[in-house]
Amino acid sequence: MNGPRALALAALAALAALPWVLARHQLSILTDLLIFGLFALSLDLIMGYTGMVSFGHAAYFGLGAYGSALVLVHSGQPVPVALLAGALLAGVVALPVGWFSTRATGIYFAMLTLAFAQLLYTVAYKWRDLTGGSDGLAGVPKTTLFWGGPSLATPHAYYFLVTACVVLALLLCRALVRSPFGRALQAIRENERRFVALGRAARPFKLVVFVIAAALAGLAGALFAPFRGFASPEVMFWVLSGQGLMMVLTGGIGTLIGPILGAMVFILIQEVLSSYTEHWMIFSGAVFVLMVIFLPGGLVGTARRLVTRA
């Protein structure tokens, strides 16, 4: 067995064993970390592999959260139905947004995604009858795994659901970036003009990957709403989009596993610091600056460099 595969198996075994080792609160944090890991993973798909830097990725996380919250609050369907609804809602909305945004590249693409995200945020904020406005939707239940199936209300059950979703999403993304489609994305990232000169249109590829990334972010949001029992406009605010970028850069852009780790480090720092001081943002900002300066390529990129050098 080669190194990376052994490492992956070890990580899987650890994820399966951890619930029996960790205290309840630690398991909650781990679930939280995995959900945001999935969010960062989806952002890496467009940012790291296609070179599209989105400043509005939180919008799809938020759409997923609202989609799943609405299904669970109003109909009490099993959680997977809500997850599907959330991911679908995010993907469907991403289609027109992506269609417009992919007309531009670079900073203009980033600005367009930001504008659309803030627009969606405002809709969530103002549409009180549906979204509860700034109060959000509270009391989102963790229902069952399927109709008449086991309840997901225990911390263990929900943790395994989240873990399964994250692992599947990671495998899907891995398969995607290694497929011909994924190679095309990376070609676009390296040199879009050349890609076009070779006789392929870049936009359809960019649109498709944008929608896939949005749907995965939606899945993360859809997992988040029942976990926290809550969805509010804050989960689609630009602050979360920015934090997503920080998670990807911290972990290692274009590595898939890196952003998941990056999200974990980012949230852990926040979790620990914010219990000690109200000024935790100064410290997490400083940590980020130091990481970008001293660990270019993020955690995973740096680790890989060290391994190959040794």
Query: Whole-number minimum distance, CB 4 to another protein, in Å?
Result: 30
Residues sharing a CB contact under 8 Å with residue 188, sequence separation 6 or more, in sequence order = 50, 51, 195, 202, 205, 206
Query: Whole-number minimum distance, CB 24 to another protein, in Å?
Result: 5
Residue 184 or 264: the one with the smaller Cβ distance to another protein is 264
Query: Whole-number minimum distance, CB 261 to another protein, in Å?
Result: 21
Query: Whole-number minimum distance, CB 138 to another protein, in Å?
Result: 4
Query: Whole-number minimum distance, CB 262 to another protein, in Å?
Result: 19
Query: Whole-number minimum distance, CB 108 to another protein, in Å?
Result: 29
Residue 186 or 274: the one with the smaller Cβ distance to another protein is 274
The residues binding another protein (CB under 8 A) are 23-25, 28, 32, 125, 133-136, 138-139, 153, 228-230, 232, 234-235, 271, 274-275, 278-279
Residue 233 or 254: the one with the smaller Cβ distance to another protein is 233
Residue 229 or 242: the one with the smaller Cβ distance to another protein is 229
Residue 63 or 173: the one with the smaller Cβ distance to another protein is 63
Cβ atoms of 253 and 98 closer than 8 Å: no
Residue 3 or 139: the one with the smaller Cβ distance to another protein is 139
Query: Whole-number minimum distance, CB 133 to another protein, in Å?
Result: 7
Residue 275 or 308: the one with the smaller Cβ distance to another protein is 275
